[in-house]
Amino acid sequence: MNFLSHYYFERYSHNPELVLGSILPDLIKNADRNVTMWPQRYEGRFGNNPKLHSIYHGWTRHMETDRYFHNSAFFYSHTHALKILLTPTVSDTLIRPSFLSHIALELLLDHLLLRNNWVHESDFYAYLGAIDYEMTDRFLRLCEIKDTAFFFVYFNSFMHAQYVQGYWEIEQIASAMINICRRLWDVGINDVHLEGIIDVITDYAATLDGNFHTIFDEIRSKLT
């Protein structure tokens, strides 16, 4: 799941560190794909500090959420359908349609959460703006991230750009899909590719709009 979908489960928590933890795996991955962090190995280091435990609890809930999501019938059925629809749009590129369908589904869920007012991007950024930087740095170091500067450089740019606001617009989602693919493949995307992707995900967003809530209900019932 993507940022806003993870945030959905913590949106009423009134706990900035929990919200941070719920998206921290993706923030770390985006900040530096070569960095791997395993907080579960160091749980005993967090002592009785409530903020450290909130970050850790958010992290574990992120992992739980992704595990339930990626093993759900909802995920399999919709990524399969999207793959069939998206394959012709990128058939002459290096982009793997199965990957494109995966990120399309995740971004469309964020889009629908916004469009249906299930989450608000202003609240999301307000939570992140209230985190304790010192405790965040301490958490990373306790998890054997010796140099944390890379993370805070990325986090500050993430906060400044506030690009999840763009998920209101289908065109921005299509651009985000392409940009994610460019991290993995050297691809040239022209207007024909882009328009094809936009057409597919516009129609699919309408298809999802009536039943996307079921996956959130299912996961919420399983989360600890």
Domain that holds residue 34: 3-222
Q: In the predicted model, is pLDDT for residue 186 greater than 90?
A: no
Task: Give the position of tokens 């940009």.
Answer: 179
Q: In the predicted model, is pLDDT for residue 224 greater than 80?
A: no
Q: In the predicted model, is pLDDT for residue 51 greater than 80?
A: yes
pLDDT digits (tens, 9 = 90+) for 68-118: 999 999 999 999 999 999 999 999 999 999 999 999 999 999 999 999 999
pLDDT score, position 183: 86
Q: Where are the alpha helices (DSSP H) in the chain?
A: 3-8, 16-31, 50-70, 73-86, 97-115, 121-129, 133-142, 149-161, 170-182, 191-209, 213-222
Mean pLDDT of 179-205: 92
pLDDT digits (tens, 9 = 90+) for 139-153: 999 999 999 999 999
Q: Is residue 189 very low, low, confident or very high in pLDDT (cuts 50, 70, 90)?
A: confident
Q: In the predicted model, is pLDDT for residue 190 greater than 90?
A: no
pLDDT digits (tens, 9 = 90+) for 121-176: 999 999 999 999 999 999 999 999 999 999 999 999 999 999 899 999 999 999 99
Number of domains in the chain: 1
Q: In the predicted model, is pLDDT for residue 61 greater than 80?
A: yes
Q: Is residue 188 very low, low, confident or very high in pLDDT (cuts 50, 70, 90)?
A: confident
31 compared with 224, residue with greater pLDDT: 31
Percentage of the chain lying above the pLDDT 70 cut: 100
CB atoms < 10 A from the CB of 92, how many? 11
107 compared with 183, residue with greater pLDDT: 107
pLDDT score, position 102: 98
In terms of Cα–Cα distance, which of 7, 220, 200 is closest to 105?
A: 200
| Mean pLDDT across the chain | 96
In terms of Cα–Cα distance, which of 4, 136, 123, 128 is closest to 65?
A: 4
